[in-house]
Structure 1
Amino acid sequence: MVIIPSMTFNHKSLSYTIRSAVPDDARQMSKIRNRIDMETNYLDREPGEAFLDEIGFRKLIEQDTIKEKNLCLVAEVENRLVGFSRCEGTELKRLHHNIEFGVGVLRDYWGFGIGKHLLLQSIAWADNNNILKINLRVLETNIKAIHLYRRYGFNIEGLLKFDKRLSDGKFYNTIIMGRWKDDVS
């Protein structure tokens, strides 16, 4: 069972907790994922696409809790979820050493270190669970995220040219980044 201890952080007079997701978080997670999709172009989905309802999130959280290579974390402010992250691995032997990381935080809570702490908790969990590599994808225009990932040991490993077409009609590149456990610069 994958559960990390809750940790509370204070930044700019905001207090928030990072903790493992539990099935009872499913309703809030569905709502904030949909809202995050409306607030940013940085993710793969447009609002309403690949919608995951409460039942879908409940199943996802339950699976993430029992799969040793998965982790689902939430960020909570005054009993209200404001962001979450997921690490997803595979049981395929050739890929068993790595996971894919993704994160989303409501726009009202950007700038409080929530995304950073979701990332750091995920890195700590990975490092303690024989996960040698964390992979992620980030839109080329998400400069703050790219700098954050670099600060914590991620390197640019590739570029998917013209990968996403955003609402402005233009095509944008996706940067592939990875962090190898023993190669933290």
Structure 2
Amino acid sequence: MSSQITIRKVEKKDSKHIISLMKKLSVQTQYMLREFDEINENALEQEKRFESMMGDPKLLYLVAADKAAVVGLLIASSSKLARISHVGDLIVGVDKNYWGTGVGSKLMTELLKWAESTELKRLSLEVVEENIRAIKLYEKYGFKIEGKKIADHFIGNNTYLNTLVMGKILDHKIVKVK
């Protein structure tokens, strides 16, 4: 399956496919943030959002495509605030049908290539503690667990999950850490 996968930057034409993927992910796993009914279904709004993102050198929006279908995504963005503008925050999602096929690895490889070409000095993400597959992927690419948020992720039926904070320092770019 993964040999057919291409990783590329998001395009306006992807809006309907990304909406479909986000809806699919909301049902396939409890690890994503949005519930099914919280996903914006307006393709035109998505297209405008993509357009506004495309010119930002400190923002990366990748899709993993299998022919016309979008089966994975990765978004890395940083703040405009000077004191935290060196940090890229990540969101990653992969269709469950493509877990274990290398899609996540391909997205992470492209992320790290991009990060090397930016002013970013740190990458950061949050992941539900039970999402062992994702944690192993992130660790494979040098991310370390830096902390834990207790009862941070509500999944219904009075059940809460912990969230891990993970980060990766882009070593050669850090001059001094106190």
TM-score by length of 1: 0.87
1:115 to 101, 104, 127: 104
**Counterpart in the other structure of 2:143:** 154
Instruction: Work out the CA distance in 1 between the residues paired with 2:63 and 2:107.
Output: 8
- Tell me if the contact between 2:19 and 2:39 (Cα under 8 Å) persists in the aligned partners: no
**Counterpart in the other structure of 1:141:** 130
TM-score by length of 2: 0.90
Superposed counterparts of 1:65-84, under 5 Å: 65-84=54-73
Between the two proteins, the alignment pairs up a number of residues equal to 172
**Counterpart in the other structure of 2:30:** 41
Q: Does 1:128 align with 2:117?
A: yes
User: What is the CA deviation profile of residues 102-145 of structure 1, one whole-angstrom value per residue up to 9, with x for unaligned ones?
Assistant: 11111111111111211221121011112111110000000111
Over the aligned positions, Cα root-mean-square deviation in angstroms equals: 1.6
SS in 2 for 1:30: helix
Percent identity for Structure 1 against Structure 2:
31
Task: Report the alpha carbon displacement of residue 168 of structure 1 after superposing the two structures with TM.
Answer: 4.5
User: What is the CA deviation profile of residues 63-113 of structure 1, one whole-angstrom value per residue up to 9, with x for unaligned ones?
Assistant: 221111111111111222111111111211111111111111111111111
**Counterpart in the other structure of 2:176:** none
Which structure 2 segments of 5+ residues have no match? 173-178
- Tell me if the contact between 2:77 and 2:88 (Cα under 8 Å) persists in the aligned partners: yes
Higher helix share: 2
SS in 2 for 1:179: strand
Extract structure 1 runs of 4+ deviating beyond 6 A.
Answer: none
**Counterpart in the other structure of 1:171:** 160
Instruction: Work out the CA distance in 2 between the residues paired with 1:173 and 1:154.
Output: 18
2:49 to 48, 60, 65: 60
